[in-house]
Amino acid sequence: MNVVVCLKQVPGTTEVKIDPQTNTLIRQGIENIINPLDSYALEEGVRIRERYGGKVTAISMGPPQAEEMLKEAISLGADGAVLLSDRDFAGADTWATAGTLAAGVRKLQQTDIVICGRQTLDGDTGQVGPEVAEMLGIPFVAYVSRIEEMAEGYIRVQRMVEDGHEIIESPLPAVITVVKEINTPRLPSLRGIAMSKRTVIPTWTAGELDIEQDKIGLAGSATRVVKIFFPQRDCQAEILQGDPESQAERLVSKLKEAGLV
Amino acid sequence: MGIRIELDSCVGCGSCVAVCPFDLLEIVDDKARVKEGCTLCGACYEACSYEAIQIDAIPEAEAASDSHRGIWVFAEARNGQLKEVAYELLSKGRELADSLDTELSAVCFGHDIAGIDRLIAGGADKVYLVDSPELNSNAEDLYTRQMVELIQQYQPEIVIAGATSLGRSFIPRVAAILGTGLTADCTALEIDNEKRLLLQTRPTFGGNIMATIICPVKRPQMSTVRPRVFKASAPDAGRQGQIIRVDFDREHITSKTRLLNFVEDITETVKIEEADIIVSGGRGLGKAENFQLLEELAAKLGAALGASRPPVDEGWLPYSHQVGQTGKTVCPRLYIACGISGAIQHLAGMQTSDIIVAINDDPNAPIFEAATYGIIGDLFKVVPMLIEKLKAQ
Amino acid sequence: MEHFLNDDQKTIKGLARRIAEERILPVRAELDEKEEFPWAIMKDLAEADMFRIFIPEEYEGLGGGCLGLCLVVEELSRICSGVAVSYAASALGCFILMDYGSDAQKQQYLPDIAAGKRLTAFALTEPTAGSDASAIRTTAEKVDGGYVLNGTKQFITNGGEAEIYTVIALTDKSRGARGASAFLVEKDTPGFSFGKKEKKMGIRASSTSELVFRNCLVSEENLIGKEGMGFIMTMKLLDRSRPGIGAQALGLAQGALEATVDYARQRVQFGHPIIAQPVVQDMLADMAIHVEAARALVYAAARTVDSEVKSFTEESAMAKVFASDVAMKVATDAVQICGGAGYMKDYPIEKMMRDAKITQIYEGSNQVLRNAIAIELRKRKARTE
């Protein structure tokens, strides 16, 4: 099986705190990591290779420093990686990102399955996976919680829905997004770390991909951000005073007033 | 490229650096400099007191189509039952349609769906109904193709759907095929009348930062909205509307994937999203066994049991109880948060509850900012007292 | 304090720390409570290639040597000594094979050990033979095609869980210490069974059991090296592995120190955190100094083992004695500083004190080792006269 895993490098925390005095961001020591939900995608890819043989390639669209994250992917079991990086990719919305990733996957050729994480920590839209599928013209299944069986041109999966799960079969190649219930990602191995130091990760620029200039980056995005603001939370709670007994009493009387007890 | 620093005006104060959510500004040699990847969001422009930042509107490659009109709401149904989110979106859609002075339509796929006229009472002027046994289970491939066909035929300017597991997986595919913009998990929708634009606001960075997004050129402008973000208004039985039955073209609309089986998950007796009262526990509970205390309180109140993410990650409670960004969004009449600090990701899932009670021993816990009533104390003392007082009622 | 580790060593240490914090920390209290062998963690260590560190490259290892092993043991022990010793003992159980085994024997066993598929154990101690190792009674009688083992081993770490055992038995009772030989015995060999699993004060996640040999036949191929080499190989083995015990003690002391500082910073009495009290500061400073000294000694001994130096009995004994005494003192002081909370099982400190004690006892009790060090001193003085 030729597996391609889409990874995104994200800031190490979403705890982007706001200084209440100045209403500005406090950013200390935020390093970049593999989007946590993508780790499950990578782990599943490696498990597919362990079970069925083949190759796992990690792919990412990002700035040059995303190469670090791709090296980490190799230490976690990916056989190779490729970075899609170009000034012109910057500022992309999910649609332009999906187009770029799809062009990267096409260039890799002979892919049996593309695996993405359910959503990212920073954008959290969960849109790139399904959009890549449509751009590649291949089937798509979301929220996969278990791969039951794979064979040449065929996959059967279990996927989560709100009130239970469904069993879906699909031809391959296909794109799937996975949820964290699917596995427990492994830690890097020493040989993996050694290999990641040796592996050369190619960077493909816009010119090397088969995609029109007007479909990438900010220019290729269908949406634009027009405003950024920090959510105001200025309602303060009414603090019920006293010892636990009086606090409980006061609360019960409030709830009675509201007709809840 | 659309953003410029006027070096003469810039004093290198760094205010812009602090507000950029994407960390794309830096001070070099006492002057601000923009790194690659700027999305022209304008946060720095607002922050600069020296008018040293210029942002040019990007000239759009084309103008927005003038022929797209009307607002559509995808009215999701499962097994013949319309979901609540349909009515929530119709209420909002009605507001937006009135603002744009245009029609609101509901789009419905399924088989033998009960109560279609309630969609009209809920605000729709038209209902596009595609009825076929094949559409009964949510066959996403079929939904995707059918939706694309309808949109291409009738050309709405705005399409809104619920950010349910169905919505979040097939709507992006529709957007990709149509080559248009989609904004997921919106928490607010407004209209810019002048430009006939939908202003889509959504949380990013786990809810720490809100972004307002537009789709200036491509049509339709598409959004998904989480259930229980908007409230459904009271139905108006007197409303008039039209139900348009569209034939399901079995030949043309096919699916590559096949649903073999659906297995229902029957774990909780009270479904947390439907509960009027929720008692919820966080990391402050300490261990799995301590949830028994909350179960007792919940039983006394006839409430469902919820949890923030840490107890679920620790395995103290199954995922179906998780409230928050990566869990369920709830909007009960009463939400009691015990030992929950109130991280943004959790608040995202419950802050619209009618009454929020927070019990936490940390007076600085952010939950107190969202709560209606706060009790600063040891939950292991307060909750038993609460149970006692309720017994005495 | 900077110890100038190279990149590979830093990688090993960093990865071991991650495994310890992400996989061991959440379960250490439960493993201790239930006396459960940490199989899941052994699997995590195997997947991360940690068992390859002490195996030479020719046998699918990474050839990391003694310092590499010590760095891993230190990091694991900082979180849980019981888990750390389960890993370390598997190194102990295959060193004799590695140093004296034939190529065929090494090919047969080492790759699986390197992959962490099979754990090992070293079996010397018997009811009659602890510090006095030469008082062992287990015999290995030469018969046609092999040896028949008879006897009982006591207090064997990884006993019952390991699959491969390096057993020291007497092939020639008349020659005393020179009559012992080393054998590889696999679990499930007929005549080889396990006796009781001990209930211990500390390192309760580690499995300590009796091995029982009743007419257990092993083939000639299972003899490692030559007959009669048993004790010499054992002495060399223990010299090699003692820095590892030093590392176990060191890691524990480090963990205890960190937990105590954290506690002292937030425990407020008399209006101030107790870390503001001079008596507490005094104790903490001494703890910190001793931990650093132990680290320096353990790393120096490990580096010596890895170098061309032929004999390092003294160095490795010193590292083990010092680090284990430090661990016991630091852990005890840790409980003292944490006070009532330190005594309660809700906090991880009391476990560290229980875990520390054994490091002063096994692999050569500190009394025996002090004797050995003194003998070396005497020898040296005698030579310069």
pLDDT digits (tens, 9 = 90+) for C138-154: 999 999 989 999 999 99
Per-residue pLDDT tens for A34-60?
888 899 999 999 999 999 999 999 999
| Nearest residue in A to C45, CA atom | A189
Distance from CA of A195 to the nearest CA of B (A): 31
Per-residue pLDDT tens for C57-73?
999 999 879 999 999 99
Q: Closest to A187 (Cβ–Cβ): which among C22, C53, C62?
A: C22
Mean pLDDT of all residues in C200-226: 97
Tell if the CB–CB gap between A16 and B372 is shorter than 8 Å: no
Distance from CA of C113 to the nearest CA of A (A): 16
Lookup: tokens for C12 = 């090993």
User: What is the residue whose two structure tokens read 């890097």?
Assistant: A188
Give pLDDT, residue A213.
87
Crossing angle (nearest 10°) for helices C366-384 and C313-343: 150
Give pLDDT, residue B270.
55
Tell me which chain A residues have a C-beta less than 8 angstroms from the C-beta of B270.
Answer: none
Give pLDDT, residue A46.
97
Size of interface A-C (CB pairs under 8 A): 31
Tell me which chain A residues have a C-beta less than 8 angstroms from the C-beta of C57.
Answer: none
Tell me which chain A residues have a C-beta less than 8 angstroms from the C-beta of C55.
Answer: none
Neighbors of chain A by Cβ distance (3+ pairs < 8 Å):
B, C
Q: Closest to A228 (Cβ–Cβ): which among B140, B211, B258?
A: B211
Tell me which chain B residues have a C-beta less than 8 angstroms from the C-beta of A131.
Answer: 172-173, 175-176
User: What is the residue whose two structure tokens read 């391959």?
Assistant: A172
In DSSP terms, B55 is beta-bridged to: B3
Give pLDDT, residue B313.
84
Interface contact A88, partner B, CB < 8 A? no
B337 touches B359 (CB < 8 A):
yes
Tell me which chain B residues have a C-beta less than 8 angstroms from the C-beta of A95.
Answer: 175-176, 179-182
pLDDT class of C20 with cuts at 50, 70, 90? very high
Q: Which domains does chain A have, with CATH numbers?
A: 2-215 (3.40.50.620)
Interface contact A156, partner C, CB < 8 A? no
Q: Which domains does chain C have, with CATH numbers?
A: 7-114 (1.10.540.10), 120-227 (2.40.110.10), 231-384 (1.20.140.10)
Q: Closest to C52 (Cβ–Cβ): which among A188, A190, A193?
A: A190
Between A148 and B24, the more confident residue is A148
User: What is the residue whose two structure tokens read 């802050």?
Assistant: B351
Distance from CA of A194 to the nearest CA of B (A): 32
**C292 catalytic residue (yes or no):** no
pLDDT class of A13 with cuts at 50, 70, 90? low
Residue A232 burial (C-beta neighbours within 10 Å; 0-12, 13-18, 19+) = exposed
Tell me the CA end-to-end span of chain A in Å, nearest whole number: 59
Tell if the CB–CB gap between C49 and A187 is shorter than 8 Å: no
pLDDT at A29 over 70: no
Give pLDDT, residue B151.
96
Contact map slice: A 166-205 vs C, CB within 8 A = 186-193
Size of interface A-B (CB pairs under 8 A): 280
Characterize the bridge pairing of strands B31-34 and C208-219: unpaired
B1 touches B38 (CB < 8 A):
yes
Q: Closest to A189 (Cβ–Cβ): which among C22, C23, C49?
A: C49
Lookup: tokens for C365 = 């009790």
Lookup: tokens for B231 = 């409230």
Q: Which of A127-141, B30-44, B256-270, C174-188 has the lowest mean pLDDT?
A: B256-270
pLDDT class of A92 with cuts at 50, 70, 90? confident
Tell me which chain C residues have a C-beta less than 8 angstroms from the C-beta of A192.
Answer: 49
Give pLDDT, residue A163.
75
| Nearest residue in A to B180, CA atom | A222
Give the separation between CA A86 and CA A71, rounded to whole angstroms: 19
A107 touches A127 (CB < 8 A):
no
Give pLDDT, residue B268.
52
Q: Closest to A162 (Cβ–Cβ): which among B164, B205, B263?
A: B164
pLDDT at C136 over 70: yes
pLDDT class of A20 with cuts at 50, 70, 90? low
pLDDT at A23 over 80: no
> C-alpha distances in angstroms, B123 versus A208, A209, B75, B130?
50, 47, 12, 19
Mean pLDDT of all residues in C352-376: 96
Report the b/e string of B284-316 with b at 16+ CB within 10 A: bbbeeebbebbebbbebbebbbbbbbbbbeeeb
Residue A244: cis peptide before it, omega within 30 degrees of 0? no
User: Of the candidates B364, B340, B69, B264, which has an alpha carbon nearest to the alpha carbon of residue B353?
Assistant: B340
pLDDT class of A234 with cuts at 50, 70, 90? low
Lookup: tokens for C25 = 């920390």
Distance from CA of C49 to the nearest CA of A (A): 5
Contact map slice: B 229-248 vs A, CB within 8 A = none
- pLDDT above 70 covers a percentage of chain C that reads 99
Report the b/e string of C248-265 with b at 16+ CB within 10 A: bbbbbbbbbbebbbebbe
Q: Closest to A244 (Cβ–Cβ): which among B47, B183, B385?
A: B385
Crossing angle (nearest 10°) for helices B140-154 and B165-178: 50
Regions in chain B scoring below 70 on pLDDT: 1, 57-61, 205-207, 266-270
Tell me which chain C residues have a C-beta less than 8 angstroms from the C-beta of A189.
Answer: 47-49
Give the separation between CA A23 and CA C284, rounded to whole angstroms: 41
Distance from CA of B242 to the nearest CA of A (A): 31
pLDDT at A12 over 70: no
DSSP code string of C254-269 = HHHHHHHHHHHHH-EE
Give pLDDT, residue C217.
97
Contact map slice: A 70-129 vs C, CB within 8 A = none
User: Of the candidates A184, A179, A180, A185, which has an alpha carbon nearest to the alpha carbon of residue A144?
Assistant: A179
pLDDT at A19 over 60: no
Mean pLDDT of all residues in A135-159: 94
Tell if the CB–CB gap between B385 and A245 is shorter than 8 Å: yes
pLDDT class of C384 with cuts at 50, 70, 90? low
Distance from CA of A16 to the nearest CA of C (A): 24
Interface contact B37, partner A, CB < 8 A? yes
Mean pLDDT of all residues in chain A?
87
Tell me the CA end-to-end span of chain C in Å, nearest whole number: 39
Q: Closest to A189 (Cβ–Cβ): which among C22, C23, C47?
A: C47
Interface contact A24, partner C, CB < 8 A? no
Give pLDDT, residue C90.
95
Tell if the CB–CB gap between C12 and A190 is shorter than 8 Å: yes
Give pLDDT, residue B98.
94
C123 touches C211 (CB < 8 A):
yes
